[in-house]
Structure 1
Amino acid sequence: MIVFIWRQMMKTRQFDAVLFDMDGVIFDSERAVMDCWTTLAEKYNIKDIEQSVLACTGTTMVRTREIMLERYGDDFPYDDYAHEASIMYHKRYDGGRLPMKKGVAELLGFLKKNGKKIALASSTRRQTVENQLREAEIYDYFDGIVCGDMVSRSKPAPDIFLKACELIGTEPEKSYAIEDSYNGIRAAYAGGLRPIMVPDLLPANEEMEKLTEKVIENLFEVMNYLENIKD
């Protein structure tokens, strides 16, 4: 009952900004990463790779390495596999070939038209983020970009969202965060933002239902939802 009342109250409040995760929200990159690691798993007989990759969703490169070694042991040649996966990924998707999620351009255009600030808060390193946004020709929509190599603590710590809010000059409580990962939603909630989950590889579970203002199927529906936010 309390969660329902909170959501209804939040829906009546105006917002100033929207902060986006990138992988799994703007680009269909998490599925692309999974495909690359699945190929490696078949080649090197790596067990349970799907669950391992999902466990790394929304984390930095450093934390991903830690998770993989925790799961497979210190002698697991993660660095070699990650390098091979990276080469495979770039061969397949560089040059603007990385698929964008449906509704990205429409939602960004809607926010810009209505004077909302737009930021990116991604655990991916900055150079990769900037390259992919430029190749997709959406870089100029963003008023600020904060990446995983720009903060000391990764999601689920709220640092990346708080830094992004500070960068674009908005208050966390007046900002939506659009995320697909559990760690991303936890980070946005911990930072006092208004989380919206758009599930990608991971479905919304009971925890996510409690932490989000809304779970929404796709970005077109996010646009419709935000359009109906009233003062």
Structure 2
Amino acid sequence: MLEAAIFDLDGLMFDTEPIWVSAWEPAFKEQGLELKPSLVQRFFGMSQSRIDELVAQAYDHDPRAIPAVREHVRIGIDEMLAHGAPKKPGLDELLALLAEKGVPCAVASASPRTLVKMHLRKGDIEAYFSAVIAGDDGLPSKPAPDVFLEAAHRLHAVPVNSLVLEDSPNGILAASAGGFLSVMVPDMVAPTPETRSLATRVCNSLLDVRDLIAQGELG
């Protein structure tokens, strides 16, 4: 029986990843830098501090690199404040089923708390979540399992009976490291052979996850 469900946010609950990805090129262009597209693929699921470290290393600590990252964040947040981000198909149905079954839920996201809370409010789903672990809480970034372990702790659940829902390989690596059940619902990054082997299931949508839980095939 499931004791808890722990949700990533970007790319899993809300279709934010295209917004974040499209903000990288103009941000770096503003600073006179050429974006390295292969670097962006590594950022999914990472905290802002870890992204800062990787960008600084990739650009040999060029003084323009971190300002470019800050500009990227500004562009992305401005876009989401102005237009929001659509919920992923099946999110409402999955949350309703978990509530019906009495399974407590948490968010464990690399995004800052203010942005996480904004999405939950705009999506009218804030009431479903008993805990929020955010990227500015100071915990090690995925693929370390700390954010998921903290979420399970706050929900008084043990990892082996808790389900992590993720769209990124980093998230699945973190869930596996923490001993969680996990489902990957891929967004912009396809599952690798490694993440397929580590995930409990790989699903096409949150509706598929809802169906698996309803049928008793998860937890």
Instruction: Give the TM-score, by structure 2 length.
Output: 0.92
Q: 2:184 aligns to what?
A: 197
- Count of aligned pairs: 217
1:153 to 140, 146, 170: 140
Q: Which amino acid aligns with 2:135?
A: G
Q: 2:52 aligns to what?
A: 65
2:34 to 19, 36, 46: 46
Q: Which amino acid aligns with 1:69?
A: A
Alignment of 1:214 with 2:172, yes or no, is: no
1:25 to 12, 32, 39: 12
Aligned to 2:41, the other structure's residue is in SS state helix
Give the superposed CA RMSD. 1.7
Q: 2:42 aligns to what?
A: 55
Runs of 4+ in structure 1 over 6 Å off: none
Superposition map of 1:81-160 within 5 A: 81-94=68-81, 97-160=84-147
Gaps of 5+ in 2: none
Deviation at 1:95, TM superposition (A): 5.2
Deviates more, 1:60-69 or 1:129-138: 129-138
Counterpart-to-counterpart distance in 2, 1:124 and 1:91? 14
Q: Which amino acid aligns with 1:138?
A: I
Alignment of 1:226 with 2:213, yes or no, is: yes
Aligned to 1:157, the other structure's residue is in SS state coil
CA offsets 1:113-165 (integer angstroms, 9 cap, x no match) = 11111111112221221122112211111011111222431111111111101
Q: Decide whether the 8 Å contact of 2:59 with 2:65 is kept in 1.
A: no
Aligned to 1:143, the other structure's residue is in SS state strand
Counterpart-to-counterpart distance in 2, 1:151 and 1:38? 28
Instruction: Give the TM-score, by structure 1 length.
Output: 0.87
Q: Decide whether the 8 Å contact of 2:163 with 2:183 is kept in 1.
A: yes
Deviates more, 1:38-47 or 1:131-140: 38-47
Q: Which amino acid aligns with 1:73?
A: D
Q: Which amino acid aligns with 1:113?
A: E
Aligned to 1:120, the other structure's residue is in SS state strand
* Residues 80 and 41 of structure 1, relative CA distance in 2, 3 Å threshold: closer
